[in-house]
A and B are shown apart, each in its own frame.
Chain A
Amino acid sequence: MKSKAKLYQLRFYLAFILVVGGFYIDTMQTGWRILSFKETNHTKERTGHQTRIFYHK
């Protein structure tokens, strides 16, 4: 089997690599941290912090 045909058989995976790779480059260009997507709350109005109740030793 020629190498082109072998690559063609993996076309869906190659497309996946392009999409995920593009997403990665976009996150790095804009400084978007994937893990912190829930940490920061972006709003137009200040709703006040959810003051935590701490239980310590």
Chain B
Amino acid sequence: MTNPIDIQPQSNLCSKCNTPLPIHVRHEVYSLVCGECGSIYYCFNDQLDLQIPNFKQLPISWRMNIGISGNLKGVNYQVIAMLQKAEAGTEYTWEEYTLWNPIHGIAYLSVYNGHWMLLNELNEIPLIEERNCTYQNENYELFANYETVIIQAFGEFFYPIDKVPNTTEQDFINRSGLITKEYSKENVSYFKGEYIVPAVIKKAFDLDSIPEKVGVGMIEPFMPSIDFGTLKNIVIGIVLIWGALQIYYASIASDEIIFNRSYTVTDSTTDKDIITPAFKLQNGTKNIELKVNVEIDNDWFYTGATLVNEKTGDLYDLEMEAEYYYGYEEGERWSEGNQYVAKIMSAIPEGNYYLILHPIKSSKVNSTFFTVTVCRDVYVFSNGIIILIVLLLFPIYYFIRSYYFEMMRWKNSDYSNYDE
């Protein structure tokens, strides 16, 4: 553990209820509140001076004990005080723990609905313009604007706790954190806050239990292990590289016609094989596109096509079906299908090949004329589309979930830009 706190607290007893009142920060403490009866003491030269009236100590479902220590963000803090605050005129309450380290000073740990924030006071003044705040080149949006009241307190404070005026707080948030402006007639303070995962708090302070999370926290990150901006940049990178590859592969595809021949199928030749002359496929392993253009009129045509490697005997089978229908119904022209069909045979090695065609025509006509064309090295756009969809599945899922997460977060704000 860094910065160990090994200073023994000064021991005192509450004069009203005899509860121990340890002072951890000693000479810097201005006021002290008993956690049992709410008595307020001012501290001068190690003497306690009882003040009247005291805080009413109200029941809180869960709270951290004063004096426990824990390591947060590499700093060993001790919990020296707790304030329970409320939004004036509402039932919303939250707890704010004061953390102290002899070297790093004071930090605040705020918990609302089981969501924890670590806040540090800023030495600089952020730029605030209406509903926007800019701090260290980061923009924050106004999330909440409210008046706070201290309901109860206990522990040690560096100011007269019973004389703290009501303050107005403005919370500005972005995906990485929060800037809070806290002001009253006498004072203005700015704080920078970051979300702390509840499990981290539990582990850091060695707590048996912590409050259950309810809803989405004001600055709770969606999938904290993934940075939104980094994922966005990766997606832009994927799309740019994908686009460049599409242009590259489209430009190098030769789309060369290797074979082109026409045939006529008659009643006597239908359902019989046609063997084409041989043709040569070159340049390694590439695809071929087999196109069949056929003269059909409100009719169909089928041909099986087998590509045969003369040397190895390898066979590649395809089935080609074309149908073309049209008409005029209820005052409208309609048509469906095409007078051609084109299919790709993938990854065909170079060599000498021929085709065995097995055409079948319908019995409606006496003969059907068709043309077979073989093109080598055809650009396949659909591969790119499939790959792009596969690559973007996770970012699409992330961005949609993130959108709904943000919507849930901003449901708690009066300044939401999301539609109800």
* B contact residues, total (Cβ < 8 Å): 53
CB proximity to B under 8 Å, residues A22-57: 23-25, 27-28, 30-37, 39-46, 49-52, 54, 56-57
Q: Is the CB of B319 within 8 A of A33?
A: no
Sorted nearest first, the 8 A-B pairs with minimum C-beta distance are A31-B287, A49-B304, A41-B317, A31-B286, A6-B230, A24-B387, A6-B227, A32-B346
Q: Are the CB atoms of A10 and B346 closer together than 8 Å? A: no
Using A1-B227, A13-B234, A30-B285 as known contacts, say yes or no to A39 and B343 having CB atoms under 8 A apart: yes
Q: Which residues of A contact B (CB under 8 A)?
A: 1, 3, 6-7, 9-10, 13-14, 16-17, 20-21, 23-25, 27-28, 30-37, 39-46, 49-52, 54, 56-57
Query: Among B70-78, B131-139, B376-384, B411-419, which stretch is in contact with chain A?
Result: B376-384
B396 near A: Cβ within 8 Å? no
Q: Which residues of A contact B231 (CB under 8 A)?
A: 10, 13
**In the complex, are the beta carbons of B226 and A10 less than 8 A apart?**
yes
B352-364 Cβ-contact flags toward A at 8 Å (1 or 0): 0000101010100
Q: Report which of A3, A30, A36, A44 forms a contact with B344, defined as CB distance below 8 A.
A: A36
Q: Which among B226, B308, B382 is the interface contact of A35 at CB below 8 angstroms?
A: B382
Beta-carbon contact of B315 and A44 below 8 Å: yes
Chain A residues whose C-beta falls within 8 Å of the C-beta of B380 in the assembled complex: 27-28, 31, 33-34
| Known contacts A33-B380, A36-B343, A54-B300; is-contact A49 B317 (Cβ 8 Å) | yes
CA distance A53 to B314 in the complex (A): 27
State how many angstroms separate the Cβ of A13 from the closest Cβ of chain B: 6
Contact with B347, one of A21, A32, A43, A44 (Cβ below 8 angstroms): A32
Interface on B for A, CB 8 Å cutoff? 225-227, 229-231, 234, 238, 241, 245, 249, 271, 285-288, 299-300, 302, 304, 306, 308, 313-319, 321, 323, 325, 343-348, 356, 358, 360, 362, 377-378, 380, 382-384, 386-387, 390-391, 394
The chain A residue with its CB closest to the CB of B238 is A17
Known interface pairs A6-B227, A41-B317, A50-B319; A20-B390 also in contact (CB < 8 Å): yes
**Which residues does chain A contribute within 8 Å of B344, judged by CB atoms?**
31, 33, 36, 39-40
> Contact partner of A31 among B225, B226, B316, B346, CB < 8 A?
B346
Chain B CB within 10 Å, residue with most, of A14, A21, A27: A27
